[in-house]
Structure 1
Amino acid sequence: MKNEQLLELFSRTKEPIAIFGSPELHIGFVNEAMLRLWNKEEGALNKPLAQLFPNGFAGLSINDLEQCWQSGQNRLFAAVATHGLKNQNYESLNYDFFCQVLIDEDGETRALICSATEAPANAANNSMLNQGQDDVVVRNLRKQLEYSRYREKQMVMAAPFGMTILKGRDLIVELANAAMLSIWGRSEEQVLGKKLMDVFPELDGQPFPIMLNEIFQKGKPLAVREIAVDIAGSDGSSKRLFVDFTYDPIFDEAGKVDAVMATVVDITETVESRKQLEQHEIQLQEYNEELAAINEEQEAANEELLMANRELALTQQLLGSSNNRLIESEGRMRSVIYQAPVGMCVLRGPEHTIEMANEAILKIWGRNEMDVLNKPHHTARPELKGQPVYGWLDNVYSTGIRKVNREFRVMLRDGEGLREAFVNSIYQPLLDAEGTVNGILVIIEDITTAVRERHSAARTQDMFNLAIDAAELATFYYDPLTNLFSGNDLLKTWFGLKPIEQIDLSLATAVIDPLDRDRVISAIEQVLQTGSSGKYETEYTIINPRTGIPRVVRAKGQAYFDLTGKALSLNGTLQDITERKREEERKDDFIAMASHELKTPLTSMSAYIQLVRKRALKEDNSFVASALEKAEQQAAKMATMINGFLNVSRLESGKIYIERTVFDLATLFQEVKQDYAALSAHHEIFFPQVPHLHLHADREKIGQVMGNLISNAVKYSPSGSKVEISCEVKETEVEVGIKDNGMGIMEEDQQHIFERYYRVKGRQMSDIGGFGVGLYLCSEIIQAHGGRISVSSELGKGSTFSFALKHH
């Protein structure tokens, strides 16, 4: 029994127990029962007893206990009067204290175990005798001795470790506690009152009878650690135990050894664990030595192979020798097979009996070792019936020719069913010393996932190609490192290129219309720069060098970069928008013609309205004057709309010009403010204080942009809301912003808001007129000035349109 287990038993026992671990009686262990008897706290641990009880405790002197330690003899202190807690009351109590000395193999005291048992109430009175009456004293002393032996027996029976009392030189078992009976494997009826050698004849020839005889001769205690004892069971079986034990003499009234108290601790489990550890260390050493031998043999084999390369004449002889070595080292190769990351197994004989199989191949097979080892392959794997594997194995075994399969489709076991799998496999014949095939090494790699992913990618590519073909899109790929450009057949047809895989980019850009070529090359260079968003989108015309037919295309692509920001490729598509451009041109021509035709009668109508309105004012006809004022406003809106269409038409035809002059921005803001003062009745329009700043730009068109953005802010925000104009002068540019609190613009619409004829769709837009040309015109004017225009908006909260221009 281990020390920790003994202390656990001592902790749980109800009798007070303390263990002293040094000649100074340092307290190494004390249970709760003894602490209550001492009326002390747990802080007593590791302190000398004299520090807690300078005058002794419970009627015992420190000197008595020190003598027990020094003499190495057990002592019983009977009916000692003391005070302690009982039933939560502090009372006078009588206790028997039994001090058991533990001796080590050198005969030195190792520990002193002191236990206490409450004595009967009249036990103390038995010691209070008339010292003058000798016969009474003798009788009382005998009674005390009898009582002491009674208490001693009680202590033995209560001990948590094995204890027994052997009476006389015949070693009659007088008393044995439960722990001792458990060690012996006997019951009380089988041992009590019987000679030890009669109960355990197998002890004859073992050292214990001799040791016990020496106790009777010398009267000195004996302690032995870790000794083996062979004990026969009551059923005839035999077992070997390892024990620590002490033999303590018990003296009679005449001072002669009358009996021996044996204390036995079963340490079999500890000894066997230690021996197993020692055996494991020996085995590990043997394994290390074997591994060193294997390494030496491997090095020797490598040297032989090197010599074989140098001496071609001896190649066949050395290969035969190496083959023999491999056969002799087959056991050592098992570790290689079992640790391989791919599936490997060895089949032996014409029945292809499975000799070994590693975890990887068992996983592929859907089997475990018990299912397959030492069984013919066709028996262990019946799921392969009707598949070519059986035939391949037979052919390799009969011909000695290796079989290699790439991406072989096979049905494998999966639970109770089958699964489709794809594998790479090698069937390698194994030869004996005479060069005869005696087995096959099978190597399998499961590539099912990779094959399925490739098939899936191929299907995806096929679908993509179908989509590309259905949409009549040309695809392109450009590698900036090699300057090579390639595309699908449709792209090469448009560019009039030869059906080669890749060409230099300059050959492709040479087909672009000269008016667009530099712009396209610049766009490609910008999108490939480090820090670019990578988005590429532009429109240009290509002229087929073979047919001379022009084709307008829209290019969209994405550049990809490595971790350092260096461009790796530019991929994208081209869409033929020639017909759409023609339709737009026809629409633009019609709008330009219609706008021009409408402008002349509208101008005349506006003049007549103004003339009639003036006469109505003179005649003080307020109703007619008011109606004519509204008609004049509607005519002005129509004129603005017609001018917008004309400007778009001129912009597309290249007839709109930017006439730059130097003007004061503050003056322009003041004029715009006056123009839109009439709108203040329905909206609060706030203009900022603008510093005097000179711009070199087209004053009329910049005013037109500001007016268009303010008109939109008023149009798309509720009556009575605020419209705020801002102006921020920066180091090299000035930024103007128009913010409203209107309906806002969805994010997907913001990307197209500056495109021609684009209008946001929705229920709120149905009652607001417009043709989608105002913002397009603003964007074109600002970009023609080399500036930038943008929008930020949140649906339901309003929008902010901003444009920035360079200043001097």
Structure 2
Amino acid sequence: MYLTNGEELHKIILNAPIGICILKGKDLVYELVNPAYQRILPGRKLLNRRIFEAFPELANTQIEEAMRHVFETGIPYEVNNLLIPVAEYEGGQTRNRYFTFSFQAWRNGNIEIDGIVNTVHEVTENIKVQNDLRDAREMADQQKRVYETITSGTPDLMYVWDLNYRFTYANAALLTMWGKTWETAIGKGLRENGYEEWHAAMHEREIDQVRATKTTVRGEVSFPHAILGKRIYDYILIPVLNEAGEVEAVAGTTRDVTERKQMESALAQSSEELQAINEEMVATNEEQAASNEELLATNQQLANLNEELLAARQKIEESETTLRLAIDAANFGTWFIHSVTREFITDARLKELFGYYPQQELSIEQALAQITDEYREFVTNKLENAIYNGGDYDVTYPVIGLHDKRLRWLRAIGNLKVDPSGAFSAFTGVVMDVTEQHMDEQRKNDFIGMVSHELKTPLTSLTAIVQLSNSKLKHSEDAFLAGAMDKAHLQVKRMTNMINGFLNVSRLESAKLMIQKTSFNLEDLIDEVIQENAATMSSHVVKFERCQPVLVNADYDKIGSVITNLISNAVKYSPEQKEIVVKCEVTGNEAHVSVQDWGMGLTSGDKEKVFDRYYRVESNNTQHIAGFGIGLYLSAEIVRGHGGEIWVQSESGVGSTFYFSLPLKT
């Protein structure tokens, strides 16, 4: 349906919430006055009277001159916030009032000018509020935005749809945004005018809603402008009712709120008359949404908010100063990464840690390039997972400085925080130089490895001597010597296992722990371990619940040491004569081995740390149990090196069950 006939236009004018009148003839006689216009001049008779007779306050003013010029030339005229002293009633005492006027030529069927369309909107209260707010010199940005929203002008884009979702009207601003003309756009649907599917479907649903409820729909949407690029718009859709009160069209207006533009109230010439009416309608609807009382209350609230913002800003500045002093004192480098744009902002200290000069640009890719080859992929994966999945980010890695070629070990800790807008996340963190700590750790590992190697030579000789002596004393009549030599053999074996453990830890931390895989039956290995250690486990009953043959591809000796360690721990931490149960099961594509005891068990805190290096459970029951806390750590690393997992189920005072899994041979 096209809104082009006079009857339809008159109907819209009469229903408009802003003042509109039609002045006919050279004498400018009131031919049509809508209720909103009449409310501006209460008690005055207007219809069929000349405007300067019924509204003499306009006589001999720039308004009279402008109206004459519009009538003679057809050139539209508008003026905003014009002060006019207006009588309370015709011939009565005047009061200063402010108005926004728009005049457009009214043309007859021969396209000759035979009148003027006048729209008027009183802005007296807005001017008063503006004058009051102008004195608030320390108004914060947020106060300004609220003020601008309340006093904003006419929306940018106006349009009308029929009930089949076709455009029957579009103003010049909307046509410009589309890059189309009236002839190519009017009568077309949403998709034909370039709307994306989601956008078109959304408006079609809203048109149906307005038709069904006869109520206004308001929303916000983001889409690209043909010239200005991506913009954010606030829009309102209102029903157009016929004489029967049924919806026959849906009129809409869209405002660009990206920069909170002032209201654009210019009325279009001839075919743009409906555009001007709709613009004023929407502007007035929005202005009426906030009453004068709300404006006054808002002013006081904004004043209070300003004080709160100043206090909060001072606290934030104090906190930022404290944080910066702490970061500077710790000599940390800091960074910021935008999750969408991947903008990378760093301080001078971080650039220095990567061997860059303070004034040089440093991108994420350039920073990753300084990480040594064996760590680069690992750090990259951790970084991407942290930025886009919120994963943990606490990594230590070596870098080679770009300019100084210096090797540094860095520890980076990051935190992902979603922006309040929800549009992006900020990934921030610190980088610290841990080169000295890392080198100390390396020197310690080297020392442990060296001492362990040095101890193995005399221990090998001692083992041979004990074995030879034990062989010769096996049939000796001196029972004491035979028993002592058996005990010496057990202690030498225990010391050998301990030194091998330290050596494996040293190799593991130097990335030199080699895993040599072969195919074997896991059940045979468990049985062999139990038999070999039977002498050292005579105080307990070890029960092996056998399973079907399970073939795995793994390092025979190292998996054997894992089983030995789990059984040995079960013996150490459970009372004598208690049963130790060893199981082997197949679950899916994995073999699961478990060692269960009924000993002292673990607390929840111990369970989280029991596989950490050098960690030992400390309690009254463990004071006399020897160990260095490397067995479970080494076992965990061996299992993980095979692509398996290790875990524990335990309850303090009840007992523990340690598990590990290995992939089955395929």
Counterpart for residue 224 of structure 2: none
Looking at structure 1, the residues matched to 519 and 343 of structure 2 have their Cα atoms a distance apart, in angstroms, of: 47
Would you say the 8 A contact 1:739–1:801 is kept in 2? yes
Looking at structure 2, the residues matched to 736 and 581 of structure 1 have their Cα atoms a distance apart, in angstroms, of: 35
Counterpart for residue 695 of structure 1: 552
Counterpart for residue 404 of structure 1: 136
Matching of residue 321 in structure 1 with residue 84 in structure 2: yes
Counterpart for residue 573 of structure 2: 716
| TM-score normalised over the length of structure 1 | 0.46
> How big is the shift at 1:569?
4.5
Classify 1:512/1:713 alpha carbon distance in 2 versus 1 (closer, same or farther; 3 Å): same
Matching of residue 587 in structure 1 with residue 444 in structure 2: yes
Give 1:521's aligned amino acid: T
Matching of residue 466 in structure 1 with residue 325 in structure 2: yes
Looking at structure 2, the residues matched to 691 and 403 of structure 1 have their Cα atoms a distance apart, in angstroms, of: 90
Would you say the 8 A contact 1:685–1:725 is kept in 2? yes
Deviation sequence 1:393-426 (CA, Å, 0-9, x none): xxx99xxx94232259xxxxxxxxxxxxx99999
Counterpart for residue 490 of structure 1: 349
Aligned pairs (5 A) from 1:118-517: 297=39, 319-321=82-84, 327=96, 402-406=134-138, 443-444=299-300, 445=302, 446-447=304-305, 448-497=307-356, 499=358, 503-517=362-376
Looking at structure 1, the residues matched to 86 and 441 of structure 2 have their Cα atoms a distance apart, in angstroms, of: 82
Classify 1:574/1:719 alpha carbon distance in 2 versus 1 (closer, same or farther; 3 Å): farther
Matching of residue 604 in structure 1 with residue 604 in structure 2: no
Deviation sequence 1:159-198 (CA, Å, 0-9, x none): xxxxxxxxxxxxxxxxxxxxxxxxxxxxxxxxxxxxxxxx
Aligned pairs (5 A) from 1:716-755: 716-755=573-612
Looking at structure 1, the residues matched to 411 and 375 of structure 2 have their Cα atoms a distance apart, in angstroms, of: 12
> How big is the shift at 1:680?
4.8
Looking at structure 1, the residues matched to 660 and 610 of structure 2 have their Cα atoms a distance apart, in angstroms, of: 14
Looking at structure 1, the residues matched to 451 and 427 of structure 2 have their Cα atoms a distance apart, in angstroms, of: 44
> How big is the shift at 1:761?
4.0
Deviation sequence 1:225-262 (CA, Å, 0-9, x none): xxxxxxxxxxxxxxxxxxxxxxxxxxxxxxxxxxxxxx
Deviation sequence 1:90-133 (CA, Å, 0-9, x none): xxxxxxxxxxxxxxxxxxxxxxxxxxxxxxxxxxxxxxxxxxxx
Deviation sequence 1:683-723 (CA, Å, 0-9, x none): 33332222212111111111111111221222223334343
Counterpart for residue 393 of structure 2: 536
Looking at structure 2, the residues matched to 591 and 602 of structure 1 have their Cα atoms a distance apart, in angstroms, of: 16
Matching of residue 759 in structure 1 with residue 616 in structure 2: yes
> How big is the shift at 1:758?
3.2
> How big is the shift at 1:320?
1.7
Would you say the 8 A contact 2:84–2:97 is kept in 1? no
Classify 1:545/1:611 alpha carbon distance in 2 versus 1 (closer, same or farther; 3 Å): same
Counterpart for residue 190 of structure 1: none
Counterpart for residue 520 of structure 1: 379
Looking at structure 2, the residues matched to 768 and 322 of structure 1 have their Cα atoms a distance apart, in angstroms, of: 101
Looking at structure 2, the residues matched to 478 and 591 of structure 1 have their Cα atoms a distance apart, in angstroms, of: 41
Counterpart for residue 642 of structure 2: 785
> How big is the shift at 1:501?
11
Counterpart for residue 624 of structure 1: 481
For the pair shown, the structure with the greater C-alpha radius of gyration is 1
Classify 1:801/1:576 alpha carbon distance in 2 versus 1 (closer, same or farther; 3 Å): farther
Looking at structure 2, the residues matched to 791 and 323 of structure 1 have their Cα atoms a distance apart, in angstroms, of: 89
Counterpart for residue 96 of structure 1: none
2:470 to 608, 613, 624: 613
Would you say the 8 A contact 1:744–1:796 is kept in 2? yes
Deviation sequence 1:649-692 (CA, Å, 0-9, x none): 22233332111111111211221222343355323333222221
Looking at structure 1, the residues matched to 631 and 41 of structure 2 have their Cα atoms a distance apart, in angstroms, of: 86
Classify 1:496/1:748 alpha carbon distance in 2 versus 1 (closer, same or farther; 3 Å): farther
Matching of residue 551 in structure 1 with residue 408 in structure 2: yes
> How big is the shift at 1:473?
3.2
Give 1:456's aligned amino acid: K
Report the 3-state secondary structure (helix = DSSP H, G, I; strand = E; otherwise coil) of the residue aligned with 1:706.
helix
Return 5+ residue gaps in structure 1 as ranges: 1-291, 347-395, 409-421, 427-440
* Count of residues paired in the alignment: 425
Looking at structure 2, the residues matched to 535 and 658 of structure 1 have their Cα atoms a distance apart, in angstroms, of: 29
Would you say the 8 A contact 2:353–2:433 is kept in 1? no
Give 2:383's aligned amino acid: I
Looking at structure 2, the residues matched to 299 and 623 of structure 1 have their Cα atoms a distance apart, in angstroms, of: 126
2:535 to 678, 683, 694: 678
> How big is the shift at 1:579?
0.9
Give 2:595's aligned amino acid: I
Classify 1:586/1:472 alpha carbon distance in 2 versus 1 (closer, same or farther; 3 Å): same
Give 1:494's aligned amino acid: L
Counterpart for residue 630 of structure 2: 773
Classify 1:316/1:647 alpha carbon distance in 2 versus 1 (closer, same or farther; 3 Å): closer
Classify 1:649/1:621 alpha carbon distance in 2 versus 1 (closer, same or farther; 3 Å): same
Counterpart for residue 204 of structure 2: none
Deviation sequence 1:437-472 (CA, Å, 0-9, x none): xxxx99331114444344334333333333333433
Same amino acid, percent of matched pairs: 35
Classify 1:512/1:720 alpha carbon distance in 2 versus 1 (closer, same or farther; 3 Å): same
Report the 3-state secondary structure (helix = DSSP H, G, I; strand = E; otherwise coil) of the residue aligned with 1:535.
coil
> How big is the shift at 1:329?
9.6
> How big is the shift at 1:637?
0.8
Report the 3-state secondary structure (helix = DSSP H, G, I; strand = E; otherwise coil) of the residue aligned with 1:404.
coil
Would you say the 8 A contact 1:474–1:573 is kept in 2? yes
Looking at structure 1, the residues matched to 336 and 467 of structure 2 have their Cα atoms a distance apart, in angstroms, of: 63
Looking at structure 2, the residues matched to 793 and 457 of structure 1 have their Cα atoms a distance apart, in angstroms, of: 47
> How big is the shift at 1:594?
1.4
Looking at structure 1, the residues matched to 97 and 387 of structure 2 have their Cα atoms a distance apart, in angstroms, of: 64
Looking at structure 2, the residues matched to 765 and 621 of structure 1 have their Cα atoms a distance apart, in angstroms, of: 36
Looking at structure 2, the residues matched to 551 and 322 of structure 1 have their Cα atoms a distance apart, in angstroms, of: 79
Aligned pairs (5 A) from 1:66-85: none
Would you say the 8 A contact 1:534–1:560 is kept in 2? no
CA RMSD of aligned residues (A): 4.5
> How big is the shift at 1:739?
3.1
Classify 1:328/1:670 alpha carbon distance in 2 versus 1 (closer, same or farther; 3 Å): same
Counterpart for residue 507 of structure 2: 650
Deviation sequence 1:132-169 (CA, Å, 0-9, x none): xxxxxxxxxxxxxxxxxxxxxxxxxxxxxxxxxxxxxx
Report the 3-state secondary structure (helix = DSSP H, G, I; strand = E; otherwise coil) of the residue aligned with 1:772.
coil
Counterpart for residue 706 of structure 1: 563
Classify 1:473/1:787 alpha carbon distance in 2 versus 1 (closer, same or farther; 3 Å): farther
Looking at structure 1, the residues matched to 355 and 86 of structure 2 have their Cα atoms a distance apart, in angstroms, of: 64
Looking at structure 1, the residues matched to 537 and 309 of structure 2 have their Cα atoms a distance apart, in angstroms, of: 70
Classify 1:594/1:794 alpha carbon distance in 2 versus 1 (closer, same or farther; 3 Å): same
Would you say the 8 A contact 1:405–1:424 is kept in 2? no
> How big is the shift at 1:345?
10
Deviation sequence 1:297-354 (CA, Å, 0-9, x none): 47999xx9xx99x999977797023898984699xx9xx99xx9xxx999xxxxxxxx
Would you say the 8 A contact 1:743–1:796 is kept in 2? yes
Would you say the 8 A contact 1:752–1:758 is kept in 2? yes
Classify 1:801/1:451 alpha carbon distance in 2 versus 1 (closer, same or farther; 3 Å): farther
